[in-house]
Amino acid sequence: MEQTSKISKFYQKTRSERLDLLKAHGFVSENSADLLMTTTGISEDVANHLIENQISQFSLPMGVALNFIVDGQECVIPMAIEEPSVIAACSNAARFTRSTGGFKTSFPERLQTGQMIFYQIADFANAKQLVDSRVDEIKQLAELAHPSIVVRGGGLVDVETHIIYNEKDQAEYLTVYLYVDVKEAMGANIVNTILEGVTPAIQEWLAAEKLMSILSNYNTRSLVTATCEIPFDLLATNHLDGQSVAQKIVKAAHYAKLDPYRAVTHNKGIMNGIDAVVMATGNDYRAIEAGIHAYASRNGSYQGLTTWQLDLDKQMLEGQLTLPLLLGSLGGAINALPLAKISQELMQVDTAEQMARIICAVGLAQNFAAVRALVTEGIQKGHMSLHANALAIHAGATGEEIELVASRLRALERMNLAKATELLTELRQQNS
């Protein structure tokens, strides 16, 4: 069977049929499909050694978004998330990009950042000059601190020294930034090891006090960009022509650059997709979240992260998203979490770099889905339709009752928990 992530009526299949389809289309091996079918969590032994005071495991459903082509490669997107409608919206958005070849990405450099912060410095200009003149020694110390990353082709690439000024505009700290090629790892531990190896020498050269040496999650030397083109034709609704919808999407993204109240929610939509894939890949979602939100504030106020524009000659809506993304394909908890490795298989990736490119594309798709819905029919229609399942479960429905109560809820003008409870009671009375 052809390897395509455009699999029709996937959502109508049973779980085992979906896994058979993913196998048939070449996205998972027999073994991985078996593991996805039977897994109920991680082994007690692993769970107990991953964190402290472990008492249980917290489960989230994992699904796949379809229809993605990223840099010419068909891929299926694993998403671990509790919120209904995110996966449906993401799959639907990706469909709009297929006729123009899907998403294209660029990723000029991928370096992890560390910082060594010093204070009680007599002459800041001299201190900065001193550190800048000893970069070769810093590189040698870094190699001694973590030789294996150098053997793998990585290690310290760049050093920058910055004077940090306080609120009164006085020089108060001298910070030395290290930019490290961490190869396939996310690299927090690699960078922290290097920092601890290098810091004592710099402290001695400067005769200064050390405040701390630590990785920075603000990965401005690991920026990924995803772009896509959507023909106006595909955007038309019953009430608006395609170009008008495209124009509204452009304005929505523009507005999110101006008003932080909107920007936060605009970016929350992007993070719906990004967090879900980051979780499914076993990566550190706190690190990714913190870095992305800082990047959204880089111009001095918190802004929406996507840019949409019209190309009238081509009759296309063009989207772009740039994010700091530094994920690992190994290291941390990734090797201990069996589903994290299967997520890489589903995405058809071999490297952390490819993974970041895909995740950026997912963020752009998710933003398109949300903004398109908001400027046309609103998000509640689609959202509430899927939320009906959650309401049915909340009301106490189990097994087949869930779909029966949810479908009756969907037929109503308004749905809420009281209605779900009432419908469940009615259903049980009918069946008793």
Give catalytic residues, as residue numbers: 83, 268, 284, 383
Closest separation in Å from C-beta 197 to ligand NDP: 13
Q: Tell me whether residue 100 or residue 192 sits nearer to ligand NDP (CB atom).
A: 192
Closest CA to 279 of 87, 48, 89: 87
d(CA 191, CA 214): 8
Q: Tell me whether residue 84 or residue 331 sits nearer to ligand NDP (CB atom).
A: 331
Q: Site residues (CB under 6 A) for ligand NDP?
A: 148-149, 152, 182-190, 215, 217, 284, 287, 328, 330-333
Q: Long-range contacts for 376-383 (Cβ within 8 Å, ≥24 apart)?
A: 376/237, 376/239, 376/240, 376/245, 376/248, 377/237, 382/85, 382/88, 382/89, 383/84, 383/85
Q: Tell me whether residue 214 or residue 374 sits nearer to ligand NDP (CB atom).
A: 214
Residues 6 or more apart whose CB falls under 8 angstroms from that of 351 comprise 184, 329
What burial class does residue 57 get, using C-beta atoms within 10 Å of its C-beta: 0-12 exposed, 13-18 middle, 19+ buried? exposed
Q: Tell me whether residue 152 or residue 262 sits nearer to ligand NDP (CB atom).
A: 152
Closest separation in Å from C-beta 50 to ligand NDP: 9
Closest separation in Å from C-beta 42 to ligand NDP: 15
d(CA 251, CA 257): 10
Q: Tell me whether residue 134 or residue 152 sits nearer to ligand NDP (CB atom).
A: 152
Q: In this chain, which residue has its C-beta nearest to ligand NDP?
A: 332
Helix, strand or coil, per DSSP, at residue 177: strand
Closest separation in Å from C-beta 333 to ligand NDP: 6
Closest CA to 71 of 102, 28, 39, 25: 102
d(CA 330, CA 138): 27
> Among all chains, which residue has been given the structure tokens 């509204």?
248
DSSP class of 217:
S
d(CA 19, CA 22): 5
- CA distance readout (Å), 226 to 74, 388, 408: 15, 33, 40
Closest separation in Å from C-beta 146 to ligand NDP: 7
What is Dmax (Cα atoms) for the chain? 86
Q: Tell me whether residue 250 or residue 287 sits nearer to ligand NDP (CB atom).
A: 287
For residue 395, give both structure tokens.
Answer: 């009301």
Closest CA to 272 of 282, 285, 257, 291: 285
d(CA 137, CA 125): 20
Closest separation in Å from C-beta 343 to ligand NDP: 16
d(CA 366, CA 268): 10
- Residues 405, 409, 412, 414, CA torsion sign: positive
Q: Tell me whether residue 329 or residue 367 sits nearer to ligand NDP (CB atom).
A: 329
Q: Tell me whether residue 68 or residue 285 sits nearer to ligand NDP (CB atom).
A: 285
Closest separation in Å from C-beta 187 to ligand NDP: 5
Closest separation in Å from C-beta 31 to ligand NDP: 22
